[in-house]
Chain A
Amino acid sequence: MSLDPHAPPRPAPPVAHAEYHPSTREYVRVGLILIALTCIEVWLSYSSIDGWKLIALLLTCTLIKFLMVVGYFMHLKFDNGRFSRLFALGAVGAFTLYVVVLLMFGVWGH
């Protein structure tokens, strides 16, 4: 950053927009995958699988759905990386809060 008050102003770079936007067909495909994953989740909740195995499978499906919506529908996969880092800051902060509080109260020990 120049401190010279007489220096000519630098031309501002153009605003970064997502360069690539998925087509309607791609969006529908993502939507169908999300619905399929939700069906799997519901099936898992009715299945005989239980305990940590069930929780791990459900959380995996949830994580995939979360990343697909954030990546495709919210365009983070195609947009400037700074938006991803900003959002990750909040998401990781929330997850850390969740884990720390639950560890503190020993929720997983019961």
Chain B
Amino acid sequence: MADVTHDAVHTEHVTSTGLSSTKLAMWLFLASECLLFGGLITAYVLYRGQSTTGPYPQDVFDIGYTSVSSFVLLASSLTMVLSHNAALARDYARMRLWLLGTAMLGLTFVGGQVFEFTTFYHEGLSIKTNLFGSTFFTLTGFHGVHVTVGILMLLILVVLSFRGALSDDPAFPVEMVGLYWHFVDIVWIVIFTLVYLIPSPKPPGVP
């Protein structure tokens, strides 16, 4: 059984294109994710200034708070690449440490998002309140779910690494999970600017 697993891993790395099929599939997946988030961001920008009732973006957004969340997610991208570098150097203890650090920073971000959603809800904004609420919660909620999935992937990597169940080349799975994690980060880079920083147009009739 062990030989079969080894052969399977080996076969995957020899392809007619010279490219790893796993990596190609991951990039294809990320390209499709661009379209998903492109659609959600477009819907948000289209509808944010169309609400007939409040609260409006300028009533609920706290740029300072969201900036801290952005710094946390950027820092997690840095710890992710440091984990990959440690895996390449076959320093597995450090690799696990950076993976756990990335997961913790991701958890901090998601926790911050849950707090932000709760605050908005108490201020009268829910997914059903108006067009801004619907598109905002859908967009940032989808992103939050992606971050949560990324955290689970990171924790699974750590567990597999402790159990010695990663392949002969642990740098490869770390790189794949890293690609997903960095993608989640670049989506947030775009969301942070388009949703939070660029001022929303005032709806018709609102002074």
Q: Is the interface of B mostly helix, strand, loop or mixed?
A: helix
Q: Does the CB pair A94–B34 fall under 8 Å?
A: yes
Tier of interface size on chain A: 35 or more
Q: Does the CB pair A42–B34 fall under 8 Å?
A: no
Q: How far is the CB of B16 from chain A (nearest CB, A)?
A: 6
In angstroms, Cα B98 to Cα A27, docked, is 14
Interface residues of A (CB under 8 A from B): 12-17, 21-24, 27-28, 30-31, 34-35, 38, 41-42, 44-46, 50, 54-55, 58-59, 61-62, 65-66, 69-70, 72-75, 80, 82-83, 86-87, 89-91, 93-95, 97-98, 101-102, 105, 107, 110
Interface residues of B (CB under 8 A from A): 13-20, 23-24, 27-28, 30-35, 37-39, 41-42, 45-46, 49, 63-64, 67, 70-71, 74-75, 77-78, 80-82, 84-85, 88, 175, 178-179, 182-183, 185-186, 189-190, 192-194, 196-199, 201
Q: A38-B192, A73-B80, A86-B24 are in contact. List 13 more A-B contacts (CB 8 A).
A: A24-B82, A31-B77, A38-B74, A45-B197, A54-B198, A73-B185, A83-B19, A83-B23, A83-B24, A83-B27, A94-B37, A101-B42, A101-B46
